[in-house]
Structure 1
């Protein structure tokens, strides 16, 4: 999982969509495999690895959000509408 997250970070930095999707598929596959052993006690090494994975996934999530915000801002500049993805106002 750590290798996939590192690859995802590089793909995000390079805006490599195909690689980002491949990494997302890999993360889904590994999470499915981990669900089969959920609830079993973890040793200290496994807990450490899971904490590292959580931290790295959080960093990657923040990177994805920053990229999405940047795209939204650029699209807003092009269209003159800075709230391109905002939900419509309800009266």
Structure 2
């Protein structure tokens, strides 16, 4: 089981690195693929309890956690930039939020 866990965590790290590259290049298709891959890996990792981790897998899990946090910050910065541009174009701050809620 440790081999599968280690392999899944290594795959997650690779997917998170692909996601970071896709964010940097604004590659929407690759972002969709990485989201799908992350979901599948999360499902594979879901039955694993924290006490099942040894030193190696704990280090891999921490690396994946850190990469995911960095990618989340990049996504949030990109979203904030888009919101600011929409506000600037519309001349009315918050316009993009109103449109989003209107379609929800």
- When the two structures are superposed, what TM-score results if normalisation uses the length of structure 2? 0.78
Residue 85 of structure 1 corresponds to 97
Size of the aligned set, in residue pairs, is 88
User: In the alignment, which residue of structure 1 is the partner of 2:68?
Assistant: 57
Q: Which has the higher contact order (CA 8 A, sep 6+)?
A: 2
Name 2:36's counterpart in structure 1. Answer: 25
| Structure 2 gap segments, 5+ residues each | 1-11
> Which of the two has greater helix per residue?
2
Q: Which 4+ residue blocks in structure 1 deviate beyond 3 angstroms?
A: none
Cα distance, 1:81 vs structure 2: 1.7
Alignment of 1:41 onto 2:74 = no
